[in-house]
Amino acid sequence: MANIKDVAKRANVSVATVSRVINNKGYVNEETRILVENAIKDLKYIPNEFARSLYKKVSKSIGVIFPHLSNSFYYNVLEGIESFAFEIGYKVIICNSHEDEIREEEYLNQFIKYNIDGIIIGSNSNIISRYKELNIPMVSIDRIIDEEIPSVTSDNVAGGYLAGKKLIEQGCKHIVHFRGPSILLTVKDRSSGFNRCLEEHGLSCNQVDLAFINPEKELIADYLQSHEETDGIFCDSDIIGAIVLSELHRLGRRVPEQVQVIGYDNLLLSELVIPKLTTISQRMVEMGEEAMLSLHSLIQNEELTNIHKLIPIELIERESTKK
Amino acid sequence: MANIKDVAKRANVSVATVSRVINNKGYVNEETRILVENAIKDLKYIPNEFARSLYKKVSKSIGVIFPHLSNSFYYNVLEGIESFAFEIGYKVIICNSHEDEIREEEYLNQFIKYNIDGIIIGSNSNIISRYKELNIPMVSIDRIIDEEIPSVTSDNVAGGYLAGKKLIEQGCKHIVHFRGPSILLTVKDRSSGFNRCLEEHGLSCNQVDLAFINPEKELIADYLQSHEETDGIFCDSDIIGAIVLSELHRLGRRVPEQVQVIGYDNLLLSELVIPKLTTISQRMVEMGEEAMLSLHSLIQNEELTNIHKLIPIELIERESTKK
DNA sequence: ATTTCCATTGTAAACAGTTTCATATTTACC
DNA sequence: GGTAAATATGAAACTGTTTACAATGGAAAT
């Protein structure tokens, strides 16, 4: 691998001049520039970023900490982050915390070693203080971990509200909310939006708490069996929605004629079940892009006009609700 | 941020000694070691990897080039890669080529700048020559791009064969194979395994070529409508499988009594459709781990006992085939 | 004619480590 | 007691860049 000295030698100039050419900085005579550029081409010279970063203390890379990777939310967000990062010349180092604080801390140390320019956190981090003392530009995604730390979240309150509104508009009276784990802020927000909407219309609903990954099918089956009057169901995920549909099918209840169902996430799945699932869609890729955008501003020391970005949701109407 | 000089000063030793302590290399007196370690703790010193890498020409990071991120195969593989990489102290830089050669080439240049230690490629790269001239340790995943470049692939031939065997054993005579894009080697391999099995049993099958992402529902519907005799279906993905199931449902054909269906990938989806889809499972996380393992050996200049690793597949029996 | 300024280039210090080599001390062995 | 080997440490060179500063020459201004 050729280095800057080799180029300088071949072009008969000093390394400083070569550096000026590479960085387009300072005075360089046009002829000299061409000489240097040719030498660079001849030697297939590519500047060493380590040396550069060592001096400039900038790594042109950001770290992304997620609690999981195999989850459509995170990899779609990651897609958005990567996409925008590439545009502005940033590398993305991916970290899977596995919801493990020790692992997260180890990654944090790595970040320092590598002069990482910024961090995007999607994990349920309890080590915020550690993050804050690091003083590295940082953006949280999907949750607000601290008032001072910029965030990008999906408008979960609006998501819940919209789902409620749709069910009510289509005439549902006996509504149930199959919720995700209620420790999650996102779930709480959806609940609060949903409940507010019902209250505004003089209604209330039952809540059944479920896990996201492996929702207990039995709980769903039991509830549906013992609540024949149910005519509207809001599920905190399409996976729960799909299970609900299959249970309703087993019980012989017609969707959407007798019961209407709304899911959440707009997974591929929601198009493949019968009937196709009406769902709330989060703009995940956009969330990733917005997070990277905020982070970039932060890195550039720009003022953020909007510290806490709220990304709108959409209701995707399919066949599990009435028109 | 404290640097090695600060530590040296505080411990009243030279930087060389500090370096020896950090790297556990060379002679250091026990008392001196403790002195240095305390200084490190006091100053919260973390060595700068850029300076290190500059001298050692090793980055402790690998690049992963995938054609997409939002695809369960890739992110599961990524999960495996990241997991093992973390164990052995490597960072993972994620690159989404979007199937774009120019983008891939740009990433490649980045890799050189950053002295990347190794590359895992999952993309349909046509720029192999470029890769080869780089002389960076490299492992391909899901496809063999070159005889000399180590690879980790799923045993697609066995997958096709196993699917064929299952359908035949359960008495299918009129079999159709809804294939993925036939340009893909993986698809070709599945086909060849599937067809060989049918041939061995004196059978043959029809083939319908479909896209993976948005399989043309109409093609599937048309085929099923015009081939009432069909009693066995092998689908190159669970998504195709789910669509097939929904079409069969529409046509009033009972699964598995009249028609049996096998999918591929063991997506979450396959558990949620009615009836649950029998499918071939690829051990994706394991593939990622194995790829990282091979790459690590390569980086360490170790001989690979098995250049082309073939990861076994499994038949996951559910409700869309007879027992 | 002298001074000032700009363009152009090079020298050398900085960035933060690792490692080679030299030197000093201790221990081991004959 | 003398020599070789092992232990312990530091000075300085080295990694490949960027940049502050100095030096030079020529043009413009006084």
Amino acid in the structure at residue B237: S
Does the beta carbon of A91 lie under 8 angstroms from any beta carbon of chain B? yes
Q: Tell me the average pLDDT of chain A.
A: 92
Among A120, A255, A268, the residue to mutate for chain B (most B Cβ within 10 A):
A268
Question: Is the Cβ pair B54, A48 closer than 8 Å?
Answer: yes
Mean pLDDT of the B287-315 span: 94
A149 CA to D5 C1' distance (Å): 60
Q: Is the dihedral of CA B29, B30, B32, B36 positive or negative?
A: positive
Judge whether B289 and B84 are in contact, CB under 8 Å.
yes
With cut-offs at 50, 70 and 90, classify the pLDDT of residue A133.
confident
Cα distance from A35 to chain B (closest Cα, Å)?
22
What does the pLDDT look like over B55-110, one tens digit per residue? 999 889 999 999 988 888 899 999 999 999 999 989 999 999 988 888 888 888 88
H or E element, residue B209: strand B205-209
Amino acid in the structure at residue A248: L
* pLDDT in the model for residue B240: 93
Judge whether B266 and B280 are in contact, CB under 8 Å.
yes
Counting residues of chain A whose pLDDT is more than 90, the rounded percentage is: 74
DSSP state of B80: H
Does the beta carbon of A183 lie under 8 angstroms from any beta carbon of chain B? no
* pLDDT in the model for residue A125: 67
Task: Round to whole Å and give the CA distance between A97 and A95.
Answer: 6
**Which among B1, B115, B246 has the least Cβ separation from residue A274?**
B246
* pLDDT in the model for residue B72: 86
Matching residue, tokens 């991120």: B69
Among A23, A44, A49, A220, the residue to mutate for chain B (most B Cβ within 10 A):
A49
With cut-offs at 50, 70 and 90, classify the pLDDT of residue A271.
confident
What does the pLDDT look like over B199-235, one tens digit per residue? 999 999 999 999 877 778 889 999 999 999 999 999 9
What does the pLDDT look like over A188-214, one tens digit per residue? 999 999 999 999 999 999 999 998 777
CA-closest candidate to residue B73, choices B112, B110, B123, B36: B123
Which chain B residue's Cα is nearest to A271? B243
Judge whether B99 and B71 are in contact, CB under 8 Å.
no
With cut-offs at 50, 70 and 90, classify the pLDDT of residue B323.
confident
Q: What would the two tokens of residue B2 be?
A: 């404290």
Question: Is the Cβ pair B115, A47 closer than 8 Å?
Answer: no
Does the beta carbon of A105 lie under 8 angstroms from any beta carbon of chain B? no
The answer, yes or no, to whether residue B185 has pLDDT greater than 80, is yes
Among B272, B289, B319, the residue to mutate for chain A (most A Cβ within 10 A):
B272
With cut-offs at 50, 70 and 90, classify the pLDDT of residue B29.
very high
Kindly list the residues from chain B whose CB atom is less than 8 angstroms away from the CB atom of residue A79: 68-70, 96
Q: A–B: how many Cβ contacts below 8 A?
A: 116
Among A24-38, A124-138, A147-161, which stretch is predicted with the lowest mean pLDDT? Answer: A124-138
Counting residues of chain B whose pLDDT is more than 90, the rounded percentage is: 74
Does the beta carbon of B268 lie under 8 angstroms from any beta carbon of chain A? yes
B12 CA to C13 C1' distance (Å): 25
With cut-offs at 50, 70 and 90, classify the pLDDT of residue A298.
very high
**In this structure, what is the dihedral angle of CA atoms B120, B125, B129, B130, given to the nearest 10 degrees?**
-70
The answer, yes or no, to whether residue B118 has pLDDT greater than 90, is yes
Does the beta carbon of B102 lie under 8 angstroms from any beta carbon of chain A? no
